[in-house]
Amino acid sequence: MNTGSQDCLTPQHLQLFGTIVQWFARYELLMQELMAKLAGSETASVILLTRRLDFGGKRQALLDLLRHRAHPLDQYDKICAYLLVPLTYSPLLYDITHSVWQPGARAHSIQPDWIFRFPPGVTPLRDDTSLPGEAFMDRDNNESIYSLDDFHDISGILEEHYHGLCTYLDHIGMKHPEP
């Protein structure tokens, strides 16, 4: 059985893994704060209610609550668009937290070792199959090959969109003050 190779992970990889995980944690806390504000509740209660949801589940819960509260459609669309960016990278988050990594097919790249263990004809799904109505999308193995530059760029994109979402929420009067 292929067990991955710790040798392919450098301190830079691990630092960028941590940075990406922390951006997702910030997004999740922000979504929980927004849910609390929309529900007229305290954030701690929402955190307890949503703690077992992954990023996609928390995103969907927030969007459902925005719809339930009849939030203006233009604001709903804008918030949805900001949260689509990290949703796009949520398979990477899953791979960071649940996969051992191997040297990738490209020079100076790494990839999760699950790619090497699937029999021909069996492909993993990108979308969360536990959510009703979610479309199934084949996950291309080449999507999961990353260089340090790729991880750095993804971290920067997550940061940029997080700050953009915070600025937008401040603009429409929805963001909780940070502690």
**In the chain, which ranges are continuous DSSP H helix?**
11-39, 43-50, 55-68, 73-98, 148-171
Please give the span between the terminal C-alpha atoms of the chain, in angstroms, as a whole number.
Answer: 47
pLDDT tens for each residue of the chain, 179 residues long: 445 555 789 999 999 999 999 999 999 999 999 999 999 999 999 999 999 999 999 999 999 999 998 889 999 999 999 999 999 999 999 999 998 999 888 888 888 887 656 555 555 555 555 555 555 444 454 568 899 999 999 999 999 999 999 999 999 998 755 54
Helix (H, G, I), strand (E, B) or coil at 131: coil
Tokens of 1: 């059985």
Residue that the structure tokens 């609390």 belong to = 36
Alpha-carbon distance of 79 to 167, in angstroms, equals: 11
pTM of the model: 0.80
Alpha-carbon distance of 147 to 3, in angstroms, equals: 20
